[in-house]
Structure 1
């Protein structure tokens, strides 16, 4: 020991409350397209943090125009709405169906399991880009979409068993020319809580798209990724706006300078302005994501964040899944370090002592508590552990992490009328 060393000063860490940057804004896009010789092969995964990264591999406006596809379009829209997002892109050959893309071993699974993505992708958009306009429709909706919904949900369920958490698989919902909102298939009956169908379209894009129809998957992914996990895709405002939009009290799809969503339509070209009240109600009740505007209020917005499952369920909206997935993943990461570790047991009872219960409660709840701090939950989580558990005999501990969701204000009822102050 050095007698002249003086006091030994320690350097503490982790006291400032700084957290690892969020990965909530990392999404994927699987789209039909053509390879770019020497730059981008079909099936290759490319990480994009800006539109220029797509241009670097040959995906640009000319690529879209020359091949009659919308790939750069979706990439550009994603980054327009979330300049700070990350998008992983994978192209598949034209003619590959949505069903095949979402099937076991298909492009969506390949993208989610690709080591290059580090398992960080939170949701995937799936775009058809057909070589010819779809011909098969089921009561107005492209038949491929309905079979793809079931495949996508089966994939999400299977991946969850391997701790791959998928917030949403968003399918491009192309409608037939004669489709009517009141007779479209009811997506709420499909028991597919991790899948959503978007039928929103920008009329300006439809005008140059050759009549094949399309849906705004890129814009939807961008608008999802800019939001906190607890925020609804259809919210008029968002908590964390891009720098250029700070100071405003809305965050619409409409961008006057870029000519984006000056009006809106369904994917078959039918204008939002022509939809009746019954049409709008039918689309919402059947679980479709589309875009429109509030009468007398500027800007175009998505209607909601419907998923393809019953509206009474716990995961009827995309944000329900985003919150659960984030909480579940955080709990899993927190508890893995104690797996197969030894556990103190009360020698008198054979059960868990209070100190051990407190330790695991703190361990399981700490990271989810950060979600409350970030305004993604209402209040701190509650971790419950039954003390009378035979850990020695069973080799396991059961616990429950409960949280209170933040609400989403989908309707407001107000009474406006004259009063007599006398």
Structure 2
């Protein structure tokens, strides 16, 4: 019921303290090659956005405080738009940003991903990269107009593989620069980049604006992924309706539409991430959570990678204190003592119990072979097997009529 008389109305708002859910799965990053900026003055000082400097944002206001405002996107930059969409999708998000205006090619910018992750002490779980560069979509041949994206995917593949080796696993989301919805999609599913996804979705109205003609909505994807459990598909209709301010209608990079409905299937099979609608329900949704690898791979979807990466971080954290520790062996045959086997198995299971309780995995198994010869190798081998959660990508219903008269005879 509204106020009956003139009054001073107080609305209680939340989020000003920047408190975050104690969950690092949402920690994300945005890498771009924009210009320096200066935020509004607070007293005699103002915050500045500088090259090769890591900043951590808890809200869109934090970005605006650095001078990343709507006008920052003039001239083909999209950092403000991407940050705004990230926090729209996940208001509780945690976002690192880093820029390098000296990166003159898409692939060279992607090479900064490892440096950014290192500066963030490995906290970034998913990283989106946007590049302000020449629009090649007018080129006639597919390899030519999409070449800069293909080179960026190759660089991102190297970056994600190196990040995993350095115990700082992350996913990388790239704009499909130069994508043309009217042309046959360039194959990306066989690249073998399981930690990389190419996004060609863009709000149809935004895609026609001068600033965003060669930009994809990677900020929307980044926000959705950061909001999801590591095991959840961001195409889940019940949870991930993408429509909202700045993203209202299905569209593609460059503002062109697919020529036929069948073209959606072709694009999906090629492993691109785009948006679609569904008959019978309002809203805009992702088609799937593809990565740039064949669909037969265990890591063909973003959630599979995120689940494994989270488990790898937890298991390593649990076992790291045991490095260089003494290991008891059976004095008769040199095999592992039962207490060692049991202790290691218990340690790994305890590390992953939270994922099991949270429904991020279905089950887990840990095996330490007691017959391994640690006296000769100084290596203790542990096998951890995870049974992931499934995803109902297709639901099949057998529907027909039934005549109860036959039963009454």
Shift, 1:174, TM fit: 2.7
- Matching of residue 59 in structure 1 with residue 64 in structure 2: no
CA contact (8 A) 1:36 1:58 kept: yes
Shift, 1:130, TM fit: 2.4
1-structure distance, mates of 2:231, 2:318: 21
TM-score when scaled to structure 1?
Answer: 0.84
Q: Deviations over 1:58-82 (max 9, x none)?
A: 00112224x4421111101000000
Cross-structure match for 2:105 = 97
Q: Deviations over 1:248-288 (max 9, x none)?
A: xxx31112xx3x432111112124xx553320110110000
CA contact (8 A) 1:138 1:185 kept: no
Q: Deviations over 1:71-108 (max 9, x none)?
A: 11110100000011111111222762221112xxx321
SS of 1:93's equivalent in the other structure is coil
Shift, 1:133, TM fit: 6.1
Alignment counterpart, residue 421 of structure 1, candidates 398, 404, 409: 404
2-structure distance, mates of 1:303, 1:231: 14
Alignment counterpart, residue 173 of structure 1, candidates 157, 170, 176: 176
Cross-structure match for 1:243 = none
- Matching of residue 163 in structure 1 with residue 167 in structure 2: yes
Q: Deviations over 1:129-157 (max 9, x none)?
A: 22666655751752100111111111211
Shift, 1:233, TM fit: 1.8
SS of 2:310's equivalent in the other structure is helix
Cross-structure match for 1:404 = 387
Alignment counterpart, residue 108 of structure 1, candidates 104, 109, 113: 113
**Structure 1 stretches lacking a partner, 5+ long:** 1-19, 239-250
1:325-336 equivalence runs, <5 A = 325-336=309-320
2-structure distance, mates of 1:124, 1:212: 22
Shift, 1:211, TM fit: 6.4
Q: 1:305 to 1:210 in 2, by over 3 A?
A: same
2-structure distance, mates of 1:229, 1:209: 36
Cross-structure match for 1:69 = 77
1-structure distance, mates of 2:396, 2:232: 21
Q: 1:337 to 1:74 in 2, by over 3 A?
A: same
Q: 1:130 to 1:327 in 2, by over 3 A?
A: same
CA contact (8 A) 1:136 1:143 kept: no
Q: Deviations over 1:193-214 (max 9, x none)?
A: 1111000000121232356321
SS of 2:282's equivalent in the other structure is coil
TM-score when scaled to structure 2?
Answer: 0.87
2-structure distance, mates of 1:178, 1:354: 61
Cross-structure match for 1:46 = 55
2-structure distance, mates of 1:133, 1:394: 55
CA contact (8 A) 1:137 1:143 kept: no
Cross-structure match for 1:351 = 335
Q: 1:137 to 1:158 in 2, by over 3 A?
A: farther
CA contact (8 A) 2:181 2:259 kept: no
Alignment counterpart, residue 269 of structure 1, candidates 255, 276, 281: 255
- Matching of residue 121 in structure 1 with residue 124 in structure 2: yes
CA contact (8 A) 2:106 2:133 kept: no
Alignment counterpart, residue 82 of structure 1, candidates 71, 90, 94: 90
1-structure distance, mates of 2:182, 2:334: 66
- Matching of residue 370 in structure 1 with residue 375 in structure 2: no
Cross-structure match for 2:14 = none
SS of 2:255's equivalent in the other structure is coil
Q: How many aligned positions are there? A: 376
2-structure distance, mates of 1:285, 1:132: 25
CA contact (8 A) 2:78 2:212 kept: no
Q: 1:178 to 1:223 in 2, by over 3 A?
A: closer
Q: 1:177 to 1:229 in 2, by over 3 A?
A: closer
Q: 1:55 to 1:211 in 2, by over 3 A?
A: closer
Q: Deviations over 1:18-72 (max 9, x none)?
A: xx9220001111113111156111222111110011011100112224x442111
